[in-house]
Structure 1
Amino acid sequence: MTSETALRDLNLPPKSERTNETSSKDILAKPYVEPSDENVGEKQRKNTVSLVEPPVNGSEVGHSGTDVVVAEVEYIESDKLNDLDDIDECLKVLLDGLGSKDWVLLCDTLNNVRRFSIYHKEALQDILDNVITLVVKALKNPRSAVCKTAIMTCADIFKAFGDTIVDSLDPLLVQLLLKSSQDKRFVCEAAEKALIDLTVWVSPVLLLPKLQPYLKNRNPRIRAKASMCVSRSVPRLGPEGIKDYGIDKLTQIASSQLSDKLPESREAARSLLLELQTSYEKSPVLAPEQETPSDEPLVYSWEQFCESNLPKLSAQAVLRVTSSITQEAPVSGL
């Protein structure tokens, strides 16, 4: 199944999730309350959610008076995770735990994958492909606790393995773009953070080709998240890297996002164009040879470069943006 098909099929949450999200018989032991702005920092450091495990033969908690089992799931930040007590034993049961239908065990095992990534990444090398496949499955899990823990696992995998996971990146990237584009805020925020980690730990030369197809996705929110990732990734190339990658190609990518539906896409495009303009002015493109010889080689200005590489209307839009940004820059620093 291609990435585009996966996006189309997964664009809407599973029916079970939609039902559980709106039902008065939600499996949460008590409703999840979004933290206020002043408490976001504390909640992101360590969140605890108490959930009621549904009965085996149904997806809802019954009201017959039967005792229910309450499980507690902690969202622990990476720097708060302790090392494993028994590395060999944990490794033996890791894949089985990731494939478990017991969601509490699954969350615990995902946290163990995070611990391996942080403290013993070499132990995962031989089974990393299998681990990633099962993490992708956990990302699709309709239970929010599993989904968020899997997203946090992705972030730690990116940090630990960097460029070595590029060949396995596509299914993870699809899911993270989807999760960062949904309405469930605490899952969305975790996915956005994982995407930021992705742009930090995976080389832009390898990452940008993976992101480009999503800039044309039919879902505007997917396009916006991909555009933001591109905007964060390109500066890591540096001026020479931008020139080698193709500043003309990157300018065309940015200009295509200027007219996109969502403001996040347009803002990411403006940020990228400013970066490209700054880079271009450090290493401008030589103009074609002139009929009259000159001691000094002639170069294209930024305006001439845009006009020669973009359709007329696109070039005008780009120049309006970069000109206004350049003029406003001194004011924004006040």
Structure 2
Amino acid sequence: MSALRDLNTIPGSERKNESCSKGAVTKPLAENATVNHEECQKKNSVSLGVPSTNGEEVVNAVEVAITEVEYIDSENLNDVEDVDMSLKTLVTGLDSKDWVLLCEALNTVRQLSIFHKEAMLDKLGDVIPLVVRSLKNPRSAVCKTAIMTSADIFKAYNDSIVDSLDPLLLQLLLKSSQDKRFVCEAAERALVAMTSWVSPSLLLPILQPYLKHKNPRIRAKASMCFCRSVPQLGVEGTKAYGIDKLIQVAASQLSDQLPESREAARNLLLELQTVYEKFQNLSPAAVSEEMQPEVDSWENFCQLKLSPLSAQAVLRVTNVSREGLVVGSS
């Protein structure tokens, strides 16, 4: 369980104490807030002061509190106390303008996803667009809680959310590309959860357009997701999806602007080379007539499926890596 302070993005006049109980953010208690009226009068005589009957200004008390947000890992979340009431008020909470109530509702989504996923299945169509909206929230506490919620949704619902996945994916790619480190790291973990729990045959077509996104950071994060997802296809799954399609995608990323994209492409090409060579080890009876022409050398396959320049770049990557393995084992 990690605790992070979210102080920089919250104006002092808005700051509230918040803590998590059973995964939910609770409202602050202001009874113990004390204010130095004399100091307030000096600092706020124009904006907060109101004239009294004797011409002097009387300053209203100002609540000054410190915000501390506790983000609870999924394995440490407890069950909700009342499932029916939680489901009944869920959408209202996710639509709230009060950021504290919104964080509570997001954590309720996490709890329901973990402990009562069947009960919430019918509400996913309403819940996911509201989670996407929370991902866009400028307040870091809301944004990170929504990211953690996304990861729990991926783990709980797998392929059931594919039709609603694209807007979630876009926001997570954006958040994983920004400079605010703790938000970025949370988004990267959510993307790992996505590639772990959503079937690659369904996920790869959704990821592919982002490999050509105008933002190079988004392209890089999408390339990393694509590279993580492909190995889960397995040999038969890769054959069914089309190894020629995958090698063309990887080849196009070799010349991308950011090194993360290029590294992901290199890793993917090595994976595809390994899978392709497993094709060659199939017995003749197991190889279909359509596959027979492809059961050839890796070099010939690359030259057949790619342009000369792309084939040269791919073979340079895979041959250098293969030579490095041979030298290392000798």
Q: SS of 2:153's equivalent?
A: helix
Distance 1:299 1:118 in 2: 45
2:167: which partner in 1? Answer: 171
Q: Aligned Cα RMSD in Å?
A: 3.1
- Residues 25/71 of structure 1: CA separation in 2 closer, same or farther (3 Å cut): closer
Letter aligned with residue 304 of structure 1: N
Distance 2:230 2:13 in 1: 43
- Residues 28/325 of structure 1: CA separation in 2 closer, same or farther (3 Å cut): farther
After TM superposition, the score normalised by the length of structure 2 is 0.78
Q: Deviations over 1:182-236 (max 9, x none)?
A: 1111000000000000000000000000000000001000000000000000000
1:122: which partner in 2? Answer: 118
1:148 and 2:144 matched = yes
Q: Deviations over 1:111-148 (max 9, x none)?
A: 11000000000111111110001101100100000000
After TM superposition, the score normalised by the length of structure 1 is 0.77
Q: Which has the larger radius of gyration?
A: 2
Query: 1:73, CA displacement in angstroms?
Result: 2.2
Distance 2:153 2:13 in 1: 32
CA contact (8 A) 1:285 1:300 kept: no
Q: SS of 2:148's equivalent?
A: helix
1:244 and 2:240 matched = yes
Distance 2:103 2:174 in 1: 20
Distance 1:247 1:312 in 2: 18
2:77: which partner in 1? Answer: 81
**How many aligned residue pairs are there?**
280
2:197: which partner in 1? Answer: 201
- Aligned pairs (5 A) from 1:229-240: 229-240=225-236
Query: 1:284, CA displacement in angstroms?
Result: 3.8
Q: SS of 1:68's equivalent?
A: coil
Letter aligned with residue 79 of structure 1: E
Task: Report the identity percentage.
Answer: 65
Distance 1:333 1:266 in 2: 26
- Aligned pairs (5 A) from 1:137-286: 137-284=133-280
Query: 1:24, CA displacement in angstroms?
Result: 9.0
2:131 to 123, 132, 135: 135
Query: 1:90, CA displacement in angstroms?
Result: 1.3
Distance 1:176 1:329 in 2: 36
Q: SS of 1:74's equivalent?
A: strand
Letter aligned with residue 297 of structure 2: S
1:107 and 2:107 matched = no
1:314 and 2:293 matched = no
For structure 1, the residue ranges without an aligned partner over 5 or more in a row are 1-19, 31-45, 54-62, 287-295
Query: 1:326, CA displacement in angstroms?
Result: 1.4
CA contact (8 A) 2:15 2:65 kept: no
Letter aligned with residue 300 of structure 1: D
Query: 1:325, CA displacement in angstroms?
Result: 1.2
Distance 1:80 1:149 in 2: 14
Q: Deviations over 1:141-185 (max 9, x none)?
A: 000000000000000000000001000111101100100111111
Distance 2:214 2:193 in 1: 25
For structure 2, the residue ranges without an aligned partner over 5 or more in a row are 1-7, 18-22, 31-42, 45-60, 283-291
- Residues 129/153 of structure 1: CA separation in 2 closer, same or farther (3 Å cut): same
- Residues 211/109 of structure 1: CA separation in 2 closer, same or farther (3 Å cut): same
